[in-house]
């Protein structure tokens, strides 16, 4: 959801209307909410092991209620996207909804691909409200930086969920190859993030993104060295909490910088 907030900021800064940008961001948020709920429907076997407190597997909501929520969230997302009168925004939301179904039903069962798939979409999401107003070549470094960040975060989440995924027969990189090889890949992704951020030119409306990307990559790499000393659920969870701070704090900071320009 922080990426939807950032989408509004970028849309407001580059597009013709704050209301249009807000509608696009709301459409993204609704689509993501429906996607998360649908994924919970498909993840019940692993969630009973990895996240037993979630509403669906704990019995606080029923599968029928979740299915109704998914349908409503996706319908609202499309209707709100149509209010922008932008074919690009409507197409973006329709593609996002399609890929959310595709992820939960197929992509997530392919080790490695699921991480890259989520990372790529998260790289695109901040530009949902402005994709028709910016040059694709100018925003590619930003898409790559966010994509690499989310990909490495998702892979660490797989390390944390390794036991539950293995018990449910879900094949992830940590299940197939072990936690340490997976964390080595995470380290490599952070090196790639640093390299992309270091070599990136100016990004429209986000002049500080390159510096932020380098900082995140360096701190993450140091944190991974600490995690590697003793790989436990506690140390991996601490790394994931750091990523949550980067994601939420970073989106808020970038949004604020956009708004004061």
| One-letter-per-residue 3-state SS of the chain | CHHHHHHHHHHHHHCCCHHHHHHHHHHHHHHHHHHHHHHHHHCHHHHHHHCCCCHHHHCCCCHHHHHHHHHHHHHHHHHHHHCCCCHHHHHHHHHHHHHHHHHHHCHHHCCCHHHHHHHHHHHHHHHCCCCCCCCHHHHHHHHHHHHHHHHHHHHHHHHHCHHHHHHHCCCCHHHHHCHHHHHHHHHHHHHHHHHHHHHCCCCCCCCCHHHHHHHHHHHHHHHHHHHHHCCCHHHHHHHHHHHHHHHHHHHHHHHHHHHCC
Average pLDDT of the residues in 99-125: 92
Domain definitions of the chain by residue range: 2-259
What's the pLDDT tens digit per position in 5-22?
888 888 777 776 888 889
- How many CB atoms are closer than 10 A to CB 168? 17
Q: Which pLDDT score is estimated for 9?
A: 81
| Residue 168 pLDDT greater than 80, yes or no | no
Cβ atoms of 8 and 24 within 8 Å: the answer is yes
Q: Which of 14, 12, 35, 36 is nearest to 23 (CA)?
A: 12
| Residue 119 pLDDT greater than 90, yes or no | yes
| Residue 261 pLDDT greater than 70, yes or no | no
Model pTM score: 0.90
Alpha carbon of 207 to those of 93, 114, 202, 213, 222: distances in Å? 27, 30, 6, 11, 25
Which residue has 């695109």 as its token pair? Answer: 124
Q: Which pLDDT score is estimated for 210?
A: 87
Average pLDDT of the residues in 186-204: 89
| Residue 53 pLDDT greater than 70, yes or no | yes
Q: Which pLDDT score is estimated for 14?
A: 79
Fold of 2-259: Farnesyl Diphosphate Synthase (1.10.600)
Average pLDDT of the residues in 243-255: 85
What's the pLDDT tens digit per position in 32-42?
999 998 988 88
Average pLDDT of the residues in 80-108: 93
């Amino acid at each position: 959801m922080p990426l939807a907030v950032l989408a509004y900021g970028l849309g407001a800064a580059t597009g013709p209307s704050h209301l249009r940008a807000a509608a696009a961001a709301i459409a993204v948020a609704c689509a993501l909410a429906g996607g998360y709920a649908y994924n919970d429907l498909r993840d019940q076997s692993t969630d009973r092991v990895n996240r037993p407190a979630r509403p669906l597997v704990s019995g606080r909501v029923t599968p029928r209620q979740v299915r109704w929520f998914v349908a409503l969230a996706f319908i609202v997302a499309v209707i709100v996207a149509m209010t922008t009168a932008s074919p690009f925004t409507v197409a973006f939301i329709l593609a996002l909804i399609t890929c959310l179904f595709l992820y939960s039903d197929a992509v997530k069962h392919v080790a490695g691909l699921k991480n890259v798939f989520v990372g790529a979409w998260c790289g695109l999401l901040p530009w949902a409200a402005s994709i028709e107003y910016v040059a694709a070549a100018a925003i590619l470094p930003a898409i790559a930086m966010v994509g690499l960040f989310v990909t490495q975060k998702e892979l660490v989440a797989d390390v944390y969920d390794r036991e539950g995924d293995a018990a449910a027969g879900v094949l992830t990189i940590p299940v197939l190859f072990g936690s340490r090889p997976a964390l080595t890949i995470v380290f490599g992704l952070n090196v790639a993030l640093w390299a992309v951020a270091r070599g990136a030119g100016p990004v429209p409306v986000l002049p500080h993104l390159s510096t932020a990307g380098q900082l995140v990559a360096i701190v993450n790499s140091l944190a991974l060295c600490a995690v590697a000393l003793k790989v436990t659920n506690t140390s991996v969870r601490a790394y994931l909490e750091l990523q949550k701070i980067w994601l939420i704090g970073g989106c808020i900071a970038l949004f604020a910088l956009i708004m004061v320009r």
